Amino acid sequence: MLLVFLPIYIWADEGMWLPCCLSKQTKQVMKDMGLNLTPRQLYNPGGAALSNAVVSFGGFCSGVVVSPDGLVFTNHHCGFDAIRQHSTVKHDYLRNGFVADSLSDELPNPDLFVSFLVRTEDVTERILQALPQDVTEDNRSLIVDSLSTLIADEAVKNDTLLRAVVSSFYAGNEYYLSVYKDYYDVRLVYAPPSSVGKFGGDTDNWVWPRHTGDFSVFRIYADTHNEPAAYSKDNVPYHPDYYAPISLAGYKEGSFCMTMGYPGTTSRYLSSYGVEERMNADNMARIDVRAIKQAIWKDAMEKSDAVRIKYASKYAQSANYWKNSIGMNQSIKKLNIIGKKRRLEHQLTEWIHRKPEERNKYAGILTELEDSYRNRYKNARAMAYFGECFANGPELVTAAWSVLNFDFEAEKSVLEERVRQLLELYANIDLDIDKKVFVAMLKEYAAVVEPESLSETYATIEKKFKGDYQAYVDDLYSHTELDTPRGFERVVKKDSTYVLFEDPAISFVIDMLVKSYELSAAADDDNMKIEKNERLLNEAVREMESDKDFYPDANSTMRFSFGMIGGYSPKDALEYTYYTTIKGIFDKIREYKGDSDFEVIPSVIDLLENRDFGRYAAEDGNMNVCFISDNDITGGNSGSGMFNGNGELIGLAFDGNWEAMSSDIIYEPNLQRCIGVDIRYVLYMIEKYGKSTRLINELKLVE
């Protein structure tokens, strides 16, 4: 029966906890489960601690520093775009892998940075005290934003190398300041072949059992004072004040396991009505639209290595959360998540009725949430499809939007970086593919939304092109100057013969912006009511269960989770063990013969067949590849270190499991698992495949 109220009753291994703010209850649970470190060894602003070795990698993944010279371990899929950018048909690092034989061979990545957390501070009281008693929701947002900016600016005013952010927690009931130091010179050091780092591809994504060597290696560089600096040949390896030791002892079922990283977003306290909208609007738009776009991309990628390299990263990023959305919707239905939410909300309603002092504050919030979500559903669904079809659709639209919003008044360094990013975008567009995507997106959007959600472009297509989407797209691409960088160059040179706002690509973007604004504005009132009542719902649930130990939803701030290594039973009569070995790689190669997701290059097969595992072998002499624990995980956790009770690295988290894809909404303790790559397999591939003993020698290995 406890499963009905999972958002209230927090299980020992559930939660994404703030390192700064552990309760006595949580500390004791961790100790009882097997953690041998003190709280100050986990998080200690101004001193050495395990959290100092954990980085936000690029703002979208996590990583862990593992050497005194700034080596960072993260996932292969986190480093995938950087690996792709350095790849060519001649030097195909995606297919064959990459190893730098010396510091001078390590490859810079202008778009990458890592962030170290300096400190976290609770600023809730300062912000909430500034809010007038009867403030409207829109004014509340303005005040919170203004005060958050002021607090962040104050925190870094004496140190220009720091960055500060105030983030909302518990749906806006609490606020915390996080101060970071960012390093911008991050170089690629090692990447396994994709047939290791991406083994299983889309087929195995979010699935256990897994056999993916999902890792890559980078190095942080700094100036001669060990401070952040833009890329320079004069920079030197960064020297951290703490780096993670690595265990070669492995793990057993029931072993303590802790992850530390930067999980992106969860919605554990979201109302049942919010879950319904997410299913039927956001997730369905992602499922429907990306399936169409990815099919076009994949067909072209399979016909050309040059296209494959151009589109590999885009395809992987798109497919990742496409499959996630499919699994989430299936899990929400199968596990009756909405029913569980409704029962919780019924319990809350009864509690409110029993508490006269709470009636004025909380009475009606669920009714208003139901009404507001219902009122905005049509526009929310249209906006979701709009975003997937156009904002996240044809790359010509992305390029045109970038040119339209280009800030020519920015500082020189910022200007140069944005020009570089724009040219990089153009370098990776195939116009024939993009036209196919454009036509498909126009058709799909028109097919799924109400007529009033269509922009003026559709009237033009009907009138001028007799409803022929292909004819419209062909005409647009033949007349725009923005299908290549030449249009941007004409703007830069102030070419008087070129009027940017008359370019058909810009006209399309502006038309889309107008319609987007109309759709958004139509839902403004309901948006404000939803924001307010979701916040009150969050507050009410925590008040009702004030004796419980709550954790906030993930919001890209540093968190850790703790749990145990162990298998699970996804359904009757089926039991999954807690680790996989290289035997499963060969089994899948045979089972999926001819499937590109399971193709392994001969040099890797030869290595694995040789079975020279050395000190990286498990106790039984085999090579473990992946393992699972019941740690809490979501997007952004990819690359998080998985640590034993002594704070030694035993793996890198890279995925959740299919049966618990609704975990962003409710944690299911019997089903949810965190999938990690065994650190011994990582080291084996570095030393035996990459023959890079120089990297192994940097590490602190605990035998």
Residues with catalytic function: 77, 214, 638
- DSSP lists the bridge partners of residue 571 as 574
Inter-axis angle of helices 365-386 and 431-448, to 10 degrees? 140
**Pairing state of beta strands 185-191 and 98-99?**
antiparallel
Report whether 235 contacts 221 (CB < 8 A).
yes
Half-sphere exposure of 561 (CA within 13 A, CB side): 31
Three-state DSSP state, 195: helix
Report whether 675 contacts 655 (CB < 8 A).
yes
Q: Kindly give the residue spans of alpha helices, DSSP state H, lying in 99-219.
A: 124-129, 137-156, 194-197, 201-204
Burial class (CB in 10 A: 0-12, 13-18, 19+), 153: exposed
Spatial separation of the C-alpha atoms in residues 434 and 44, rounded to whole Å:
50
- DSSP lists the bridge partners of residue 563 as 257
First to last CA, the chain: 44
Q: What is the 3-state secondary structure (H, E, C) of 320-350?
A: HHHHHHHHHHHHHHHCCHHHHHHHHHHHHHH
Q: What is the 3-state secondary structure (H, E, C) of 7-35?
A: CCCCCCCCCCECCCCCCHHHHHHHHHHCC
Report whether 332 contacts 275 (CB < 8 A).
yes
Give the sign of the dihedral formed by CA 295, CA 297, CA 298, CA 303: positive
The label of the residue with tokens 């390299």 reads: 309
DSSP 8-state symbol, 390? I
| DSSP codes joined into one string, 261-285 | E------TT--HHHHHHIIIIIIHH
Report whether 101 contacts 87 (CB < 8 A).
no
Of 282, 263, 254, 244, whose CA–CA distance to 52 is shortest?
A: 244
Burial class (CB in 10 A: 0-12, 13-18, 19+), 142: exposed
For 31-45, letters b (16+ CB in 10 Å) and e give eebbbebebebbbbb
Of 54, 107, 115, whose CA–CA distance to 81 is shortest?
A: 107
Spatial separation of the C-alpha atoms in residues 516 and 510, rounded to whole Å:
10
The label of the residue with tokens 């994949």 reads: 298
